[in-house]
Amino acid sequence: MRFDLITLFPELIEPHLTAGVTRRAFERKQVDVRLWQLRDFAEDNYRRVDDRPYGGGPGMVMLAEPLERAMAAVRQARVEAQADAGSAAPMVIHFSPTGRRIDQALVQSLAQGPGAILLCGRYEGMDQRFLDRHVTLELSLGDFVLSGGELPALALLDAVARLQEGVLNDAASHEQDSFSDGLLDCPHYSRPEVLRGLPGQVDEFPVPAVLLSGHHVQIARWRRERSLELTWRRRPDLIEAARQAGKLSVQDEKFLKTLTN
């Protein structure tokens, strides 16, 4: 799959492509990322890509014409590379506070697709005429405002990359992630078996005994119940969504009833 990013700050993206476990996906071109500096498509001596908004008001608006030229170049490059061979025109994603919140279901869908063109806005945003002409989907990290679209783009690329085959050391790791089955993930523990308190303290914090039992059925049930409990306490909306989707077993429902009593 191929992702083309139109951005004013490609230097924010580049380090992420060579760091951490997800770099494997980028190095192997399982997730092929191409960066496009928007200023390269400005035609004046100052490489201007923004101007004051019509109607007045604070801030600057990214100009439509450089964006149009950048988009045309990206589309042509994808055609020449046959990145979209056998598929429809690539999805164009714009990161905006007004967009749909990114979730795991969307990430899983994108991870199985051909990629997309990502628009990383800045300032007060992009000229709406350009967005109306090209954008397929608007996405947001949440109900807050960032300085630009680069951080959401990085988050999306990371989430997609870690789902590619062979990227994680254990292929089953992402199957236990929060949201993969509609619920939050359960707690995890590692060495030592008993965590001692700070010097001078006598507190001890042992790993839950069931995780040391070797009884895989009991461990699986414990993890499921902790996942249900955490989701019920922090994101009850996800419990209801899982219920509506038929993802809760009779045993799950029995356990949830004990939490409400």
Residue 169 belongs to a domain? no
Q: Are residues 64 and 33 in the same domain?
A: yes
Q: Which of 103, 127, 161 is the last residue of a domain?
A: 161
CB 247 within 8 A of CB 188: no
Look at residues 135, 161, 187 and tell me which one is the last residue of a structural domain: 161
Instruction: Provide the CATH number for the domain around residue 42.
Output: 3.40.1280.10
> For the chain, what is the domain count?
2
pLDDT at 180 over 80: no
Does the pLDDT of residue 178 top 70, yes or no?
no
Residues carrying an active site annotation: 97, 124, 162, 177
| Same domain membership, residue 253 and residue 208 | yes
Same domain flag for 151 and 187: no
Same domain, 154 and 183: no
Q: Do residues 156 and 241 both lie within one domain?
A: no
Domain end among 161, 193, 211: 161
pLDDT of amino acid 88: 74
Q: What is the mean pLDDT of residues 234-258?
A: 95
User: How would residue 146 be classed by pLDDT, with cut points 50, 70 and 90?
Assistant: very high
Domain that holds residue 105: 2-161
Q: Lowest mean pLDDT of 37-46, 80-89, 173-182, 201-210, name the range.
A: 173-182
Assess whether 32 and 145 both reside in one domain: yes
Same domain? For 184 and 157 the reply is no
Query: Model confidence over 190-236: pLDDT tens digits?
Result: 989 999 887 878 889 999 999 999 999 999 999 999 999 999 999 99
How many whole angstroms from its chain centre is CA 63? 27
Burial class (CB in 10 A: 0-12, 13-18, 19+), 153: buried
Q: In this predicted model, which residue has the larger pLDDT, 164 or 172?
A: 164
What is the rounded CA–CA span in Å between residue 158 and residue 17? 9
Whether 171 is in a domain gets the answer no
157 and 182 in a single domain? The answer is: no
- Confidence label for 170 from pLDDT (cuts 50, 70 and 90): low
Q: Residue 166 domain-assigned?
A: no
pTM for the model: 0.83
| Residue of higher predicted confidence among 102 and 174 | 102
Question: How do residues 82-98 score in pLDDT, each as one tens digit?
Answer: 877 777 789 999 999 99
Whether 168 is in a domain gets the answer no
Q: Give percent of the chain with pLDDT exceeding 90.
A: 84
- Specify the CATH number for the domain of residue 220: 1.10.1270.20
Taking the C-alpha atoms of residue 104 and residue 87, their distance in angstroms, rounded to an integer, is: 23
Supply the mean pLDDT for the chain: 92
- Residue range 30-47: mean pLDDT, rounded: 96
Q: What percent of the chain has pLDDT over 70?
A: 95
Which pLDDT value is given to residue 179? 56
182/146 same-domain check: no
One domain for residues 187 and 236:
yes
C-alpha to C-alpha distance for 82 and 120, rounded to whole angstroms = 24
- Structural domain contains residue 173: no
**66: in domain:** yes
Same-domain status, 91 and 215: no
What is the phi/psi pair of residue 135, to 5°?
A: -75, 130
The per-residue pLDDT for 174 is: 47
Mean pLDDT of 40-69: 95
Q: Is the dihedral of CA 61, 11, 167, 113 positive or negative?
A: positive
More confident position, 155 or 176: 155
Whether residue 56 sits in one domain with residue 106: yes
